[in-house]
Structure 1
């Protein structure tokens, strides 16, 4: 499911009549109704070209202005083999867009005083328990919904022979370690939203699906939206197209993880949801609840570089030509086959929904949503969103050896462990077999080439932390990694080195193989599985006690606890809620 989010990936004007008596308005000029005809022609032309180029099967969208859906349409095919066209009524998986519905359900309960955003989660979910290796403030609904609760991103159970209830999923977290103290860092967590969904159940006395149906879907007449495939949804559901073979798809995972990413809906239904959001939450939420959802919750947080978070929603200031900005709030989502996004400009009562049934369409979906919103804003207000590359405009510059030397060290990054070394008047980044020449530029930027593509990096100090930042045209700045100083591998772990795998006869898992090794005197773990597209993930472990080690570094995918277990049945490794059995073989160490 992500990226996180956004990581950011990628309207007819309501005539508000000041009076109702014609004679009282004789001197007022008539209100201008925006004409979106040219916008539609341009978007359709460009979208069809992009879909063909990127081999995207189907796309559906809805554009909302005020309390009217001014455009809803499908493009391409909902089912390529059957020749079934995509329409505004075609149903898609929403991935993490489901999270905004979970947040809406929580806010409804807060309004009804059946829960508060800041009470300890144990008061909302009796018996809730997770392991912790550090002191921490209490987990709350607020911190869960803004990914600040320090919950692992994902835990095991994906290939269960049946869908688990939220009660069962939360109960399975007992014995699982939290990854960070509450409030430490924005670390995206699907599991955190499973916990929030369970809180909706315990606070309301209703199961999660029923609560959403009664309090959100029914009032808005979202008749083809649900957290499972119902008889009404089935005939409208698009066929999904993804890289993962169908036989490897976890059959019940999204159902078990519903509040995090298991919702289905159409552009038509989501247009009704957006219309509610643009009209002060009518029928579902109070205006003050929307204000809190879209209020920046992590302002000034030193480690949340490039991420501005409301409660679940992500916040952006779009620059305007001639100066000034306009606020956009959004959340996107993806799963093994589908991509989706909802994006709004609340102050101008504009919103857009874009959905696709092709797993590789994430960039197209996000770019399309931003483009449609920007063009709609221009049509409605005359204000044009400025084209900004997001990349630095700087020239090469040779800093002193002392400046370069302060960034040397081992970093835990999104691409695995990376050694940063000063060599002459440049830095070198060594990540596995990849060598990056980091050429210093003005204002502390470094430029490297990854194949034919430029890669812009910078470094930043945050207290005792050294941060490695990435800069991209689409996503702006983001945290790529942090410098780490893990303890050397203890002798107690040497006998545990080697491969581990899901035990014969056990259910499949999204993480199904791992290898513990010694690299340059450090304890290193490499794991693979269907969730990672077959590509190995390598992390450095920081040993804590005799049987525990934590993934070194800060941020998403880091902080997970690895636990070794020796039983009469053999040796086991526990990671992300998955139990892997030792596979007897020889092991060897090597250098980074």
Structure 2
């Protein structure tokens, strides 16, 4: 809800017309078993990639079964002090934290202290939800299970923004967010939720009788000899932790409230021990850390039958498919999780059938695309070294589509497609203008044309002519399909279809919601790094559009759909969508915040 556009990785991929995929040096042919050639190639490539993207520091680990093939640090963990990155330097792991949290939860399931399919309310008794999807609110509470929390199918909002950078105890979280409105029907779709994992962390504390950090140290970090790993502290506290950088400048090392969702500090070398344990069916150096049945459950698809998830397969914590990212190779199963934010970037990717893995972590906001590309290429080379054969010749290359293949959509097509679409990156507007179809998203304007397969593709105007592709967005194939009575904007990337938005029709607007048009400021918050300082509501072509504000920086636009006279939701489904906004006396409330009106328009509205 009310996110900055930076930090949502797919948008950077979709809209990155410049620099997203600048070509690294071509890798050499790898002979069977010659991992040394891979190391030499990466030692030469990585510093060049870092210099091109102005990345301060990076660390990498390559794993083959129970062997750590290579672990190496590059660049600086602290530029001012000249501290180099070593294999033992810890980075913020971001979303990769969820893999560790899910593993700790499954350990407690094995001990029968937690249950995958029991309501989480049995452990967190003070926690309850409100639901517009259930007539019986108790039924809504029962629908929030550990399995659904771990697989992002709980229906909870993606974030709870109030006190996002606070330091209060994890155990207080269930009480503080009790009464939160569900954003989607539990079990119906994957909607990534940091809030959900924060509750998992509280459940781990409650069921183990220990603090989250103490439980993780005793159950995972010490048995796996993950000596640099912890969920506590900041990079300024310990010399082996890297500082984060944004545009070359050291950034403030913010406190992380949702530790279980994104607070892990670790090195790729430490995480390689975790991967080796998974490859060994839960054993590490003779110590059984996790039962093999728990690993099987972790790697079993949990969202089968969810029509809105299309080709994205979700396990317990793990993404079991690329979900639109470039695959490693044809028919190669890939499990992965990335981590971003707070000016760090990380990726952990493993090939379960071949028992190969790459872990890369960097301490710079510019590193996300570089880390993804480097992970993909490293795994292809490792697979080539294992089999003695190239992973893919033409199969892995982006398809070439000439502009001559593109056609202006027909009039009936333009009429069908034109409208407002709710996406995680804001409002995607498609308009029929002078017999051509145009799109606008996050300030990017482009024409939409049909390719020879009938998909929509974006093309940008240069010097008055539509001659230039919009980088990755030009390669993404778009279309609108009807799913469960909803018009879903989908993208096809690398042969996979994913949902990116939903077409929304303008509803009749009641007087009470028309009266909410204006600007609002946050009330009663003393957060030093608050993610939100205000909101505004305006009318655009019959839609209420709500926009967050962070000081002088406008955030993303969302469509606000009234549900009744007291409540409205951010239109759409998926990350950050479906969240509830409530009317209050002289204001609004959302994501734990109350907002007081500071300005309202004086011009009467015409309906």
TM-score range for the pair, normalised by the shorter chain length: 0.7 to 0.9
Deviations 1:31-90 (A, max 9, x none): x99331110111121111110000001000111111121100001111112121111011
Does residue 213 (structure 1) correspond to residue 217 (structure 2)? The answer is: yes
1:553-564 superposed matches below 5 A:
553-564=572-583
How far did 1:349 drift? 1.5
Cα distance change of structure 1 residues 187 and 320 upon mapping to structure 2, 3 Å threshold: closer
Give the structure-2-normalised TM-score: 0.84
2:448 to 438, 461, 480: 438
Q: Distance in 2 between matches of 1:109 and 1:277?
A: 17
Residues 411 and 481 in structure 1, CA contact (< 8 A), matched pair in contact too: yes
SS at match of 1:115: coil
1:99-118 superposed matches below 5 A:
99-118=98-117
Give the equivalent residue in structure 1 for 2:499.
479
Q: Distance in 1 between matches of 2:445 and 2:560?
A: 22
Residues 442 and 556 in structure 2, CA contact (< 8 A), matched pair in contact too: no
Give the equivalent residue in structure 2 for 1:462.
483
Q: Distance in 1 between matches of 2:408 and 2:520?
A: 47
Give the equivalent residue in structure 2 for 1:198.
202
Give the equivalent residue in structure 2 for 1:355.
361
Cα distance change of structure 1 residues 199 and 6 upon mapping to structure 2, 3 Å threshold: farther
Deviations 1:212-257 (A, max 9, x none): 111100101111111012899711011110259878x5843x1x21
Cα distance change of structure 1 residues 430 and 367 upon mapping to structure 2, 3 Å threshold: closer
Segment of structure 1 superposing worse, 462-471 or 355-364: 462-471
Q: Distance in 2 between matches of 1:320 and 1:94?
A: 22
How far did 1:142 drift? 1.1
Give the equivalent residue in structure 2 for 1:343.
349
Give the equivalent residue in structure 2 for 1:412.
422
Does residue 510 (structure 1) correspond to residue 516 (structure 2)? The answer is: no
1:497-536 superposed matches below 5 A:
497-503=517-523, 506-508=526-528, 509-529=530-550, 534-536=553-555
SS at match of 1:496: coil
Q: Distance in 2 between matches of 1:214 and 1:401?
A: 65
Q: Distance in 2 between matches of 1:416 and 1:407?
A: 18
Mark the runs of 5 or more structure 2 residues left unpaired by the alignment.
Answer: 14-19, 21-30, 135-139, 462-467
1:544 to 560, 563, 576: 563
How far did 1:420 drift? 2.9
Q: Distance in 1 between matches of 2:218 and 2:7?
A: 30
How far did 1:435 drift? 4.1
Give the equivalent residue in structure 2 for 1:367.
373
How far did 1:409 drift? 2.9
SS at match of 1:181: coil
Q: Distance in 2 between matches of 1:439 and 1:7?
A: 20
Q: Distance in 1 between matches of 2:442 and 2:60?
A: 41
Segment of structure 1 superposing worse, 551-560 or 533-542: 533-542
Cα distance change of structure 1 residues 403 and 226 upon mapping to structure 2, 3 Å threshold: same
Give the equivalent residue in structure 2 for 1:153.
158
2:340 to 318, 334, 340: 334
1:282-321 superposed matches below 5 A:
282=283, 283-316=288-321
Residues 409 and 449 in structure 2, CA contact (< 8 A), matched pair in contact too: no
Give the structure-1-normalised TM-score: 0.86
Residues 328 and 376 in structure 2, CA contact (< 8 A), matched pair in contact too: no
Residues 412 and 484 in structure 1, CA contact (< 8 A), matched pair in contact too: yes
How far did 1:313 drift? 0.6
Q: Distance in 2 between matches of 1:244 and 1:52?
A: 11
Segment of structure 1 superposing worse, 340-349 or 456-465: 456-465
Give the equivalent residue in structure 1 for 2:465.
none
Segment of structure 1 superposing worse, 447-456 or 48-57: 447-456
How far did 1:576 drift? 1.5
Q: Distance in 2 between matches of 1:226 and 1:589?
A: 57
Cα distance change of structure 1 residues 420 and 337 upon mapping to structure 2, 3 Å threshold: closer
Residues 231 and 263 in structure 2, CA contact (< 8 A), matched pair in contact too: yes
1:247-266 superposed matches below 5 A:
249=252, 251-252=254-255, 254=256, 256-266=257-267
Segment of structure 1 superposing worse, 406-415 or 200-209: 406-415
SS at match of 2:186: coil
Give the equivalent residue in structure 1 for 2:594.
579
Cα distance change of structure 1 residues 3 and 54 upon mapping to structure 2, 3 Å threshold: closer
Residues 391 and 472 in structure 1, CA contact (< 8 A), matched pair in contact too: no
Residues 390 and 472 in structure 1, CA contact (< 8 A), matched pair in contact too: no
Segment of structure 1 superposing worse, 80-89 or 431-440: 431-440
SS at match of 1:292: helix
Residues 6 and 314 in structure 1, CA contact (< 8 A), matched pair in contact too: no
Deviations 1:329-354 (A, max 9, x none): 11110121211111111221111211
How far did 1:186 drift? 1.5
SS at match of 2:41: helix
Q: Distance in 2 between matches of 1:245 and 1:563?
A: 39
Residues 143 and 182 in structure 1, CA contact (< 8 A), matched pair in contact too: yes
Cα distance change of structure 1 residues 224 and 430 upon mapping to structure 2, 3 Å threshold: closer
SS at match of 1:209: helix
Does residue 388 (structure 1) correspond to residue 391 (structure 2)? The answer is: no
Structure 1 runs, 4 residues or longer, greater than 6 Å off: 1-10, 230-233, 244-247, 317-321
How far did 1:560 drift? 0.8
SS at match of 1:315: coil
Q: Distance in 1 between matches of 2:318 and 2:525?
A: 41
Residues 520 and 589 in structure 1, CA contact (< 8 A), matched pair in contact too: no
